[in-house]
């Protein structure tokens, strides 16, 4: 597998011709309107590759703490550096970073350009306590002036475009999504992605799509909408409701990457789900090695097989598997169960 290599001209032409251009990140065309959201623990290289093949228009790494990156120490098992590995087929590739120290954010972003990302994105949406209360992630939303200073420096000192992902604010009393989006635009951001909840909401309650529409009306740069997109119908609804240029899908893609092909889970035959499971498992083993690859695959497998005959038994059995051969045997049994079930339905 080729990693951290820029795409060839041929690969760029293929990417450009695949779908109409929905929007541009500065000069970079985004060919398609659906995008896998950066998600810690999920949007790793194996899952991103599957989502790209199924229609996701661009790639974001899992978010990486700038304080965890030690230049000159690119050890393959260093978790932070491993998150930044990518495949040339993922063009355009976005590195998402987070932190609280202005100088550290800017200095790290400058140096990361040497690894060849097409875009660098600053996470201002993570609600996790250890991140936000230290002033990183959504904690940055409490200091819009600081955001402006950081983006002014990034947009003038980076060769690549810089973008930002935000929430609506710290809480309902301090919503400032429009203000922050304008600050991003005024200080050189090329795109703003908006998760339509506050930090305090985390994933509770409904996403406020009206807020995304407010941002879209307030800025000229492209706006990516995010939050509560769980079905193909939701894609059409959020676009009609907000006018957003792109739709970012996170939890709705876990177990159903076919959503990027505009297919809901119940439209995908069991055999196709099982085939993709096998492929995902193989990619995990290749990328992480047997032990870690197997453990990290379990959470995806549980989602893939939801509603498939024999799923409950397999879900429990996966927890005790210790070798790839055991997992392959379980998947083979699941395939046989699905075939028998299909024959009884005809």
Which residues are catalytically annotated? Answer: 126
Strand pairing of 59-60 and 93-98?
parallel
Contact 43, 37 (CB under 8 A): yes
Pairing outcome for strands 28-31 and 21-25: antiparallel
Give the separation between CA 164 and CA 184, rounded to whole angstroms. Answer: 7
Phi, psi of 95 (to 5 degrees): -90, 125
Q: Is the separation of the CB atoms in 121 and 165 below 8 Å?
A: yes
CA 312 – CA 310 distance, rounded (Å): 6
The span from the CA of 38 to the CA of 63, in Å, is: 7
Query: How buried is 38 (Cβ within 10 angstroms: 0-12 exposed, 13-18 middle, 19+ buried)?
Result: buried
255: left (phi over 0), alpha (psi -120 to 50) or beta: left
The length of the chain in residues reads 346
Write down the residue that tokens 């820029």 correspond to.
6
In this structure, the number of other CB atoms found within 10 A of the CB of residue 79 comes to 11
Question: Would you list the DSSP string of 294-340?
Answer: HHHHHHHHHHHTTTSTTHHHHHHHHTT--SHHHHHHHHHHHHHHHHH
Using DSSP's 3-state secondary structure scheme, residue 157 falls into helix
For residue 297, give both structure tokens: 């695959």
Measured CA to CA, the distance from residue 111 to residue 64 in angstroms comes to 14
Whether omega for the bond prior to residue 92 falls within 30 degrees of 0, making it cis, is: yes
């Amino acid at each position: 597998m080729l990693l951290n290599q820029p795409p060839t001209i041929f690969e760029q032409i293929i990417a450009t011709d695949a779908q109409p251009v929905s929007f541009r990140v500065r000069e970079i065309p985004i060919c398609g309107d659906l995008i896998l959201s950066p998600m810690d623990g999920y949007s790793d290289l194996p899952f991103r590759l599957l989502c790209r093949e199924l229609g996701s228009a661009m790639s974001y790494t899992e978010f990486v703490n700038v304080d965890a990156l030690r230049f000159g120490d690119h050890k393959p098992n260093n978790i932070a550096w491993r998150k930044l590995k990518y495949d040339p087929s993922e063009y355009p590739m976005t590195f998402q970073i987070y932190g609280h120290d202005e100088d550290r954010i800017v200095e790290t972003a400058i140096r990361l350009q040497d690894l060849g990302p097409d875009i660098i994105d600053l996470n201002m949406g993570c609600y996790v306590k250890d991140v936000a209360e230290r002033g990183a992630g959504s904690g940055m939303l409490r200091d819009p002036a600081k955001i402006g200073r950081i983006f002014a420096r990034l947009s003038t000192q980076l060769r690549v475009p810089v973008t930002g992902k935000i929430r609506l604010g710290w809480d309902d009393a301090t919503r400032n999504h429009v203000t922050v989006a304008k600050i991003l635009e005024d200080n050189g951001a090329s795109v703003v992605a908006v998760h339509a909840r506050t930090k305090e909401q985390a994933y509770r309650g409904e996403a406020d799509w009206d807020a995304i529409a407010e941002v879209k009306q307030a800025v000229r740069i492209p706006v990516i909408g995010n939050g509560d997109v769980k079905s193909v119908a939701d894609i059409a609804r959020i676009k009609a409701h907000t006018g957003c240029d792109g739709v970012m899908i996170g939890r709705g893609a876990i177990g159903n990457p076919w959503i990027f092909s505009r297919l809901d889970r119940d439209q995908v035959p069991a055999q196709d789900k099982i085939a993709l499971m096998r492929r995902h498992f193989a990619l995990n083993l290749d990328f992480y090695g047997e032990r870690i690859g197997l453990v990290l695959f379990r959470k995806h497998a549980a989602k893939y097989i939801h509603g498939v005959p024999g799923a409950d038994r397999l879900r429990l059995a996966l927890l005790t598997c210790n070798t790839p051969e055991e997992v392959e045997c379980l998947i083979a049994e699941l395939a046989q169960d699905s075939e028998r079930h299909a024959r009884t339905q005809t």
